[in-house]
Amino acid sequence: MTVHIGAKLGDIAETVLLPGDPYRAKWAAETFLEDAKLVNEVRGMLGFTGMWKGNRVTIHGSGMGMPSLSIYVNELIKDYDAKTLIRIGSCGGMRDKVAVRDVILATATTTLSTPSRGIFKELQFAPTCDWDLLHNAFHAAEAKGVPTHVGGIYSADVFYDERPDLNEQMTRHGILGVEMEAAELYTLAARYNRRALAVLTVSDHLLTGEALPSEDRERSFGDMVEIALEAAFA
C-alpha cells in the first residue's frame, strides 16, 4: 500500500492503462479484461487488475491534470514497479483534419509547465513517447481501420482556458489536440526508464465547438483501449 493506492504489492501489473476518469477505468476493465478485480479505491480512484489475451494488465484512474497523474504514476513506478504506462484519455481537437472520435497518438507534448518543471530550471525538456509503443499502436490502429493521427499535442494545466492566443499558436505549429496529463507521464517515464504512450480519443473540437456528452467520454472509447492493449503486448 502507498499513501494513495490501497493495492497490495503484486496486485498491480507491469502494464498499466491510465484513463483520467476512474469510471472509464471500471468500464474498460469490465469490458476488456477477464477476472478483473478491484485493487484500489482510495479517494474513489478506481484501479482494476485482470487478464487480456493471457497478459496481466492494470487499468487505474489518474485523475484530471498533471499534479494528480504525477501522484499515481510516481507511486505506480516507484512502489509497484510498473514498466509500461499508457494513458487512455480524451482530448480536444485543434486542427481541421482531426475529427471528433478520431484517435491521436501523441509523439511529443508541449506545456507551459509540469509538476517536474522545477528540476529543469531554464532547460525546456521535450517529453516524448516510447517509440516501440507508438509503432505498435499505429499498426494496431491501422489494422482496425480507426482514423488515427500521429503527432504533437498540448498538455494544458487548465480546462477553462483564458489564453486563446496560446491555442492559436499551437494550431499554427501543427499541434493536433489538447489534454491535461501526457507531458508529466512522459517526463516521469523518461526519468525512471519506463515505456509510456498517450492514446487519445477526440471528445470535442476547439475549432468547431462539437462535443461528446460525458457518458460517451466514460464508455464509448473502446477502440482507444484496444489500441493501447495491442500496443503494450505486440
Ligand X SMILES: O=P(O)(O)O[C@H]1O[C@H](CO)[C@@H](O)[C@H]1O
Which entry of ligand X, ligand URA, none binds 181, CB below 5 to 8 A by partner kind? ligand X
DSSP string across 98-141:
--TT-EEEEEEEE-S--TTHHHHTT-----B--HHHHHHHHHHH
Which strand (E) or helix (H) includes residue 178? Answer: strand 177-179
Instruction: With CA atoms as reference, report the closest residue to 133 among 153, 107, 101.
Output: 107
Identify the active-site residue in 35, 204, 216, 223. 204
Tell me whether strands 15-18 and 84-93 are parallel, antiparallel or unpaired: parallel
90 scored as a contact of ligand X (CB under 6 A): yes
* CB of 165 vs ligand URA, minimal distance in Å: 16
From the list ligand X, ligand URA, none, pick the one residue 21 interacts with, judged by a Cβ distance below 5 to 8 Å according to partner type.
ligand X
Site string for ligand X, 35-54 (x = CB under 6 A): --------------------
Helices (H), the chain: 22-32, 66-78, 117-120, 131-144, 164-172, 182-191, 214-219, 222-233
Please indicate whether residue 35 is annotated as part of the active site: no
Considering only 29, 137, 180, 228, the residue that binds ligand URA (CB under 6 A) is: 180
Of the residues 5, 16, 17, 19, which one makes contact with ligand X according to CB under 6 A: 19
Pick the closest to residue 177 from 209, 205, 158 (CA basis): 205
Q: Does 179 bind ligand URA (CB under 6 A)?
A: yes
Question: Site residues (CB under 6 A) for ligand X?
Answer: 19-21, 64, 89-90, 159, 179-181, 217
Question: Which residues participate in catalysis according to the annotation?
Answer: 204
